[in-house]
């Protein structure tokens, strides 16, 4: 089977402009498609990755005691007893900030005290003995906090003063103690205070899921939070979250005149807010890319249809001198294939240049070549599909057309 590439090519050269325009569209489409899909894929992965906590059944109530008569200790005791007495509540714990909320605390730790460098920043939470159960965190090694280990809030200072125990995520264990068992090891803060690792939990996302540094570097200290945030985190049975949240919000707002409820939010809503920009970026990129490919293929289709109708006479002549339907059909398919190939070659260079530029200027990762290959194949198939129908119409042109004048 001869592909008749040479005559098609020379015919194309004689009528360059249209072909060049289509090739140019395909080149830009490839550059956009490969890079956009690459970025969208990363965002989808980030937004969809497991949080490591039972975020579907969690809500957080942010309260502030403000009155002169506000008694922190008795109020916390009372509130926790109330929360834990509610049917449908799995567990509840105070926490300084809520995971996935975009607000939190971090401290720098090391395994060798007294150094000036080599510290690792950990996003930490202060919780009580129901902390792990409330989060729904999965304990891999070691044990949970005991009630007697929960420290009173620190006085109003910011020394990050450690408490003797800490529970860390697997990511922290790997970062601080690579290749070793972290259990029983000691970590130190900047002023050299020690904390012993008593438990290792499966990775969970901390306060800032979208930071480029690992958001799973999380530690939990057995201490009541107070000055730098105080929130009740409550985990419920599936399906009961919203109703319990409303009850709790009303109760806490009314039970103590020296305390206000700032907000009561589900972790589902916090997760939505924290990923809002990334989700929107993905939606916008995907929409524009789909439209771009659609416009390009419709353009190819429109142009091919038009060409078929203007070339009716030539097609008829070719058919009259012996070309079969398949030959005519193949002519248009091969012509489109040639144009797409030219566009794709230019597009590859363009896509790589755009990818490189993005990685240099916008701290995005380098374009993965799989996306380029996928884009090339995709555009090839779309191109062939777009000329399919016009080519079939061309093939149906009767040879008798050649004998008539238009």
**DSSP assignment of 247-312:** HHHHHHHHH-TTEEEEEEEEHHHHHHHHTHHHHHHHHHHHHHHHHHHHHHHHHHHHHHHHHHHHTH
Using CB under 8 A as the binding criterion, the count of chain residues that bind another protein stands at: 75
Q: Which of 81, 152, 276, 349 binds another protein (CB under 8 A)?
A: 276
Q: Which of 283, 349, 377, 381 binds another protein (CB under 8 A)?
A: 283
- Residue 117 within binding range of another protein, rule CB under 8 A: yes
- Residue 123 within binding range of another protein, rule CB under 8 A: no
Question: Would you say 173 or 270 has its CB closer to another protein?
Answer: 270
Distance CA 97, CA 221 (A): 13
* b/e 289-319 (16+ beta carbons within 10 angstroms → b): beebbeebbebbbebbbebbeebbeebbbbb
Question: Would you say 98 or 144 has its CB closer to another protein?
Answer: 98
Distance CA 85, CA 234 (A): 12
Distance CA 268, CA 211 (A): 19
Distance CA 52, CA 384 (A): 45
Question: Would you say 88 or 103 has its CB closer to another protein?
Answer: 103
Q: How many other CB atoms are found less than 10 A from the CB of residue 342?
A: 18
| 135-164 residues near another protein, rule: CB under 8 A | 155-159
Question: Would you say 66 or 147 has its CB closer to another protein?
Answer: 66
| 292-321 residues near another protein, rule: CB under 8 A | 292, 295-296, 298-299, 302-303, 305-307, 309-310
DSSP secondary structure letter of residue 403: G
- The answer to whether 331 touches 11, Cβ cutoff 8 Å, is no
Could you tell me the smallest distance in angstroms from the CB atom of residue 319 to another protein?
20
User: x/- contact string, 32-51, with another protein (CB under 8 A)?
Assistant: x---x--x------------
| 70-99 residues near another protein, rule: CB under 8 A | 98
Question: Would you say 63 or 165 has its CB closer to another protein?
Answer: 63
- Residue 13 within binding range of another protein, rule CB under 8 A: no
Contacts of 298 (CB under 8 A, 6+ apart): 386
CA angle (166, 169, 174) in 5-degree steps? 110
- The answer to whether 253 touches 106, Cβ cutoff 8 Å, is no
Could you tell me the smallest distance in angstroms from the CB atom of residue 52 to another protein?
21
| 180-209 residues near another protein, rule: CB under 8 A | 190-192
Question: Would you say 8 or 264 has its CB closer to another protein?
Answer: 264
Please give the biggest Cα pair distance in the chain. 104
Question: Would you say 87 or 405 has its CB closer to another protein?
Answer: 405
| 208-267 residues near another protein, rule: CB under 8 A | 227-228, 253, 257-258, 260-263, 265
Question: Would you say 102 or 194 has its CB closer to another protein?
Answer: 102
Could you tell me the smallest distance in angstroms from the CB atom of residue 301 to another protein?
9
Contacts of 105 (CB under 8 A, 6+ apart): 96, 97, 123, 124, 125, 207, 228, 229
- The answer to whether 294 touches 300, Cβ cutoff 8 Å, is no
Question: Would you say 32 or 201 has its CB closer to another protein?
Answer: 32
- Residue 291 within binding range of another protein, rule CB under 8 A: yes
- Residue 288 within binding range of another protein, rule CB under 8 A: yes
Could you tell me the smallest distance in angstroms from the CB atom of residue 354 to another protein?
8
Distance CA 139, CA 203 (A): 10
Could you tell me the smallest distance in angstroms from the CB atom of residue 270 to another protein?
7
| 345-404 residues near another protein, rule: CB under 8 A | 358, 361-364
């Amino acid at each position: 089977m001869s592909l008749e590439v040479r005559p098609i090519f020379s015919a194309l050269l004689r009528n360059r402009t249209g072909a060049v325009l289509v090739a140019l569209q395909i080149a830009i489409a490839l550059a956009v498609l490969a890079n956009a899909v690459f970025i969208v894929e990363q965002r989808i992965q980030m937004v969809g990755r497991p949080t490591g906590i039972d975020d579907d059944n969690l809500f957080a109530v942010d309260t502030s005691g403000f009155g002169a008569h506000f008694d922190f200790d008795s109020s916390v005791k009372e509130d926790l007893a109330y929360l834990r007495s509610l049917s449908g509540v799995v567990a509840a714990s105070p926490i300084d900030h809520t995971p996935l909320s975009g607000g939190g605390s971090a401290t720098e730790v090391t395994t060798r005290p007294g150094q000036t460098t080599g510290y690792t920043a950990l996003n930490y939470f202060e919780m009580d003995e129901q902390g792990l159960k409330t989060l729904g965190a999965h304990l891999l090694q070691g044990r949970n906090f005991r009630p007697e280990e929960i420290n009173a809030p620190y006085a109003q200072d910011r020394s990050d003063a450690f408490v003797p125990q800490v529970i860390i995520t697997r990511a922290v264990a790997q970062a601080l103690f690579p290749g070793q068992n972290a259990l029983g090891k000691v970590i130190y803060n900047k002023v050299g205070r020690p904390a012993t690792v008593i438990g290792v939990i499966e990775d969970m996302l901390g306060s800032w899921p979208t930071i480029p540094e690992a958001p799973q570097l999380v530690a939990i200290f057995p201490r009541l939070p107070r000055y730098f945030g105080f929130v009740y985190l409550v985990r419920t049975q599936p399906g009961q979250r919203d109703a319990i949240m409303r009850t709790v919000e009303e109760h806490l707002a009314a039970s103590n005149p020296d305390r206000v409820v700032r907000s009561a939010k589900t972790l589902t809503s916090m997760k939505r807010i924290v990923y809002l920009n990334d989700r929107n970026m993905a939606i916008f990129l995907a929409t524009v890319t789909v439209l771009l490919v659609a416009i390009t293929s419709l353009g190819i289709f429109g142009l091919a249809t038009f060409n078929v109708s203007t070339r009716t006479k030539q097609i008829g002549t070719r058919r009259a001198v012996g070309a079969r339907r398949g030959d005519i059909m193949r002519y248009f398919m091969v012509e489109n294939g040639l144009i797409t190939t030219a566009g794709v070659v230019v597009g590859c260079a363009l896509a790589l240049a755009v990818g490189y530029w993005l990685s240099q200027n916008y701290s995005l990762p380098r374009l993965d070549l799989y996306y380029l290959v996928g884009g090339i194949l995709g555009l090839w198939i779309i191109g062939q599909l777009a000329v399919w129908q016009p080519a079939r119409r061309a093939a149906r042109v009767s040879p008798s057309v050649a004998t008539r004048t238009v």
